[in-house]
């Protein structure tokens, strides 16, 4: 993080409220760095979030206009902003519980209608803030507060969900892929199309401690070891990363 | 020509991701707790730094800046 990029954050609220090693912070880092490298006009950008730790990525940390909305409803607020002033770049940043579980309906219809907003899901596979309940993206077998013997249900694959609903410009990266994530953020920040990011951030505290990934460095290594760059072939047993 | 590895220590929470991603083993845990009760990360071998930015880009607390040293 270059010193001059700190103008994009509200440094009076730092250090963040996130737990040590929280991957949502790596997403925040990549987004701030993308703005910095583009010398982006922070007065033309509105960041919209819902509720949860993921909802804290943009608000209060980012020094742009931010809307911290109600649980699951970030996308409808964002669409309202975009309709009221189409010149603005509108980016939603929130969690998997918020965007895909409680607010999943808004996500599929924004994708279907290709509303020209960017939606970034800080997907840590769990409801982190409320103590670690299973979400729509919790993997089969994963232990959570509500699935202490392991999750029985298949998770959403967010890339397939959003593409299936009609969305274009769909990406996935993990917190290990900070640099690739930053580059992709730069690409979409310069466009006025619908785009979607499934960013596997990892929650060392609520997810990691129940699934042998409590150490943040171990979580990052696990992401590195289990991901494969997409080049036409999709492997369901791997974390496919790249542009889809 | 080398690099300066600057850590904003009051933002560091001691997650040690920087220790794990640095290819040049620049970081170590501090020897003592700071006054917040955190063992922060220290750049103890900055002369080994190659400026790859892995630490700076992976810091969840935006606490690391790596700059080229003035010649
Ligand atoms: C209408 C409503 N229902 C439930 C809650 C409680 N609640 C707060 S955060 C949260 C989960 C957020 O999960 P996620 O979006 O995955 O974010 P994370 O904390 O994991 O980053 C819930 C259920 C709420 N605030 N409002
Ligand atoms: S509970 Fe999980 S998601 Fe929330 S701040 Fe802590 S590590 Fe991050
Ligand atoms: S820039 Fe690279 S080599 Fe230098 S301290 Fe950071 S991770 Fe290590």
CB contact under 8 A, A14 and B60: no
Q: What is the ipTM of this complex?
A: 0.97
Parallel, antiparallel, or unpaired for β B64-68 and B3-7?
A: antiparallel
> Which runs of consecutive H residues, i.e. helices, occur in A190-244?
216-226
**Residue B31 structure tokens:** 């020897």
CB contact under 8 A, A221 and B20: yes
Q: With beta carbons under 8 A apart, name residues in chain A contacting B14.
A: 20
Taking residues A176-195, report their average pLDDT: 98
pLDDT digits (tens, 9 = 90+) for A115-156: 999 999 999 999 999 999 999 999 999 999 999 999 999 999
Nearest of A138, A79, A71 to residue A102 by alpha carbon: A71
pLDDT digits (tens, 9 = 90+) for A13-53: 999 999 999 999 999 999 999 999 999 999 999 999 999 99
In this predicted structure, what is the pLDDT of residue A240?
98
In this predicted structure, what is the pLDDT of residue B71?
63
CA distance B61 to A27: 10
A216 Cβ inside 6 Å of ligand 2: no
pTM for this prediction: 0.98
CA distance A184 to A179: 9
CB contact under 8 A, A216 and B15: yes
Contact A138, A152 (CB under 8 A): no
Q: Which residues pair with A241 in a beta bridge?
A: A229
Best mutation target, A37, A178, A219, to test chain B (most B CBs within 10 A): A178
**Residue B13 structure tokens:** 């929470």
**Residue A84 structure tokens:** 């009221």
Hunting for tokens 């909305």 — which residue is that? A69
Contact A128, A205 (CB under 8 A): yes
Helices A178-189 and A23-38: crossing angle, nearest 10°?
Answer: 50
Cα(A51) to ligand 1 centroid in Å equals 5
* Terminal-residue alpha carbon distance, chain B: 6
Domain residue ranges of chain B, discontinuous segments joined by +? 3-68
- Low-confidence residues of chain B: pLDDT under 50: none
Please choose from A17, A18, A123 the residue to mutate so as to test ligand 2's pocket, defined by most ligand atoms within 8 A of CB.
A18
Contact B51, B60 (CB under 8 A): no
Q: Which residues pair with A120 in a beta bridge?
A: A93, A197
**Residue B30 structure tokens:** 């501090």
In this predicted structure, what is the pLDDT of residue B1?
74
CA distance B61 to A15: 7
Look at domain B3-68 and name its CATH class.
alpha beta
Look at domain A25-243 and name its CATH class.
alpha beta
């Amino acid at each position: 993080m270059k010193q001059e990029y700190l103008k994009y954050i509200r440094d009076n609220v730092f250090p963040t409220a996130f737990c040590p090693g929280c991957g949502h912070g790596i997403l925040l880092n990549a987004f701030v760095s993308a703005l910095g490298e583009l010398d982006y006009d922070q007065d033309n950008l509105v960041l919209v979030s819902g509720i949860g730790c993921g909802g804290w990525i943009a608000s209060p940390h980012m020094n742009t206009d931010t809307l911290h909305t109600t649980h699951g409803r970030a996308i409808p607020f964002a669409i309202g902003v975009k309709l009221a002033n189409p010149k603005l770049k509108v980016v939603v940043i929130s969690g998997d519980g918020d965007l895909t579980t409680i607010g999943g309906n808004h996500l599929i219809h924004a994708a279907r209608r290709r509303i020209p907003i960017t939606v970034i899901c800080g997907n840590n596979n769990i409801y982190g803030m409320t103590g670690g309940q299973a979400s729509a993206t919790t993997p089969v077998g994963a232990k959570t507060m509500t699935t202490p013997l392991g999750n029985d249900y298949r998770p959403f694959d967010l890339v397939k969900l959003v593409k299936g609903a009609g969305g274009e410009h769909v990406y996935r990266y993990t917190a290990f892929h900070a640099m690739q994530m930053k580059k992709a953020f730069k690409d979409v920040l310069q466009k006025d199309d619908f785009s979607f990011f499934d960013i596997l951030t990892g929650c060392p505290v609520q997810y990691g401690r129940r699934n042998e990934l409590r150490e943040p460095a171990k979580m990052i290594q696990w992401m590195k070891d289990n991901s494969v760059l997409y080049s036409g072939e999709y492997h369901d047993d791997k974390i496919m990363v790249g542009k889809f | 020509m080398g690099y300066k590895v600057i850590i904003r220590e009051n933002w560091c929470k001691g997650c040690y991701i920087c220790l794990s991603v640095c290819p040049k083993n620049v970081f170590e845990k501090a020897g003592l707790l700071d006054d917040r009760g955190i063992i922060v990360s220290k750049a103890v071998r900055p002369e080994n730094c190659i400026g790859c930015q892995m630490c700076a880009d992976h810091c969840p607390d935006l606490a690391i800046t790596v700059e080229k040293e003035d010649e």
